[in-house]
Amino acid sequence: MPEDIENKKGGGKDRMNPQLASVDALAHVRAIAPYQPGKPIEEVARELGLEPDGIVKLASNENPLGAPESARRAIARAADLGRYPDGNAFALRSALAQRLGVALEWVTVGSGSNEILEMAAAAMLAPGRSCVYSQYAFAVYPLATQVRGARGIVVGARNFGHDLPAMARAIAADTRLVYLANPNNPTGTFADAGALEAFLREVPAAVAVVLDEAYNEYLAPPQRYDAIEWVRRYPNLIVSRTFSKAYGLAGLRVGYAVSQPDLAALLNRVRLPFNVSTLAQAAACAALADVDFLRRSYELNRAGLRTLEEGLQALGLAFVHSSANFILVKVGPADRVYRELLARGVIVRPVASYDLPEFLRVTVGLPEENQRFLQALAAALHAARAVAPVGAPR
């Protein structure tokens, strides 16, 4: 398990001001296990006495190409930072609306698509209501549900992916929101258009569905489907996407939702004013127009996935076939293998918090990073097995 950064910070504050702990906070908020981000390179360098330049981070599903040059140039040209951003994100929403073939009012922007997921929860969930999501689905779904004091209905996964018929059956009288990730994080699984639309048809009109497509741009051509056409047909559907992955702008925090205007107006009621910064809006506009960067991101990822799959196969490891920019691999004693990888300067993501204690999630990197990971993994597996407790299965 990665070190719990949030708890560490809170613990420090409490020591300085012991009365803070006695505030009458909501019990369901206190009960939340904080989101655990991938370890930053600087932290690993500090803890292990390694040079930051020698560390490979394949832990947070970021784009190994970094931010597109076009976005960097747009940031350099961006308007007066002494003023608030355009709270309506007119230029960005217009560009998205035009690209997607919808009216401006159908597009809502978020501080990352994470904020879209939160807005949907804020609009739809409260104590006495429930939210349906899958086992092994993105960690923010249970978090957003718990923060609102709502009940999470977790539907058992099927082959690590969403069991959509079971999810439709799990919708209860008090359910008001469903989260679906396609492809899913951390498993990389994909549900095809037929299965998704069959699901949408089953959902009652009062229940909003967030179709979370954070990794949509990585889908291979035969997998692609037209979710925007579904938005036209299903007034309860919110499609959420991000600039953090294939567009390479994770550090700027920009995502967006496409929904019919009524639902968009609801999301906007709970959206923070000025939620997307001036720099983020400028960079996202540039990245959206940069079709060459998107194509390079896609191709690099496809090739990287192939390299990782072949390398994992050669090591005799089982993995889940991925449609995203990461891969879930079964390594056995994952915590030990994770630490052995860290000691070799490679950061990946343990997923014990997803109830997958034998697995690691590895983001596709640059070709040399993928090779470095595979070499480090061979050594880490060897070392982890060598220190297995006596009597433990090897």
Ligand X SMILES: Cc1ncc(COP(=O)(O)O)c(C=O)c1O
Q: Give the residues lining the site for ligand X (CB under 6 A).
A: 61, 112-114, 138, 181, 185, 212, 214, 242, 244, 250, 255
The burial class, CB within 10 Å (0-12 / 13-18 / 19+), for 208 is: buried
Q: How far is the CB of 255 from ligand X (least distance, A)?
A: 4
Sign of CA dihedral 263, 268, 271, 275: positive
What gap in Å lies between CA 384 and CA 321, rounded to an integer? Answer: 25
The answer to whether the CB of 130 falls within 8 A of the CB of 152 is: yes
For ligand X, the nearest residue by Cβ is 112
Rounded distance between C-alpha atoms, residue 322 and residue 371, angstroms: 18
Say which amino acid occupies 256: Y
d(CA 65, CA 363): 12
Taken in order 357, 161, 114, 253, the sign of the CA dihedral is positive
Q: Smallest distance, Å, CB 379 to ligand X? A: 28
DSSP reduced 3-state for 19: helix
For the bound state, the minimum distance from the C-beta of residue 218 to ligand X, rounded and expressed in Å, comes to: 11
Q: Residue 352 CB, nearest distance to ligand X (Å)?
A: 17
Q: Indicate the residue among 114 and 175 with the shorter CB distance to ligand X.
A: 114
Q: Which C-beta is closer to ligand X: that of 64 or that of 255?
A: 255
Q: H or E stretch including 74?
A: helix 69-77
What's the min distance (Å) between Cβ of 63 and ligand X?
A: 11
If the CB atoms of residues 161 and 255 are measured against ligand X, the closer one turns out to be 255
- Residue with Cβ nearer ligand X (356 or 381): 356
Q: Which residues contact 216 (CB under 8 A, 6 or more apart)?
A: 182, 183, 227, 241
Q: Cβ closer to ligand X: 135 or 371? A: 135
Which residue, 130 or 189, is less far from ligand X as judged by CB? 189
CA-nearest of 93, 122, 61, 156 to 284 is: 93
Nearest CB to ligand X, comparing residues 263 and 284: 284
The Cα-based distances of 75 to 70, 252, 341 in angstroms read 9, 11, 36
User: Is there a contact between 175 and 207 (Cβ–Cβ < 8 Å)?
Assistant: yes
DSSP type of residue 349:
E
Of 242 and 370, the one with the shorter C-beta distance to ligand X is: 242
CA distance 199 to 53: 46
Q: Which two tokens stand for residue 242?
A: 């991000």
184 touches 136 (CB < 8 A): yes
* Structural contact between residues 179 and 117, judged by C-beta atoms closer than 8 angstroms: yes
- Compute the least distance from the CB of residue 69 to ligand X, in Å: 21
Q: How far is the CB of 333 from ligand X (least distance, A)?
A: 25
Q: In the bound complex, what is the minimum distance in angstroms from residue 217's beta carbon to ligand X? A: 12
Q: In what order do the strands lie in the sheet with 255-258?
A: 107-110, 255-258, 237-242, 208-212, 175-181, 130-134, 151-155
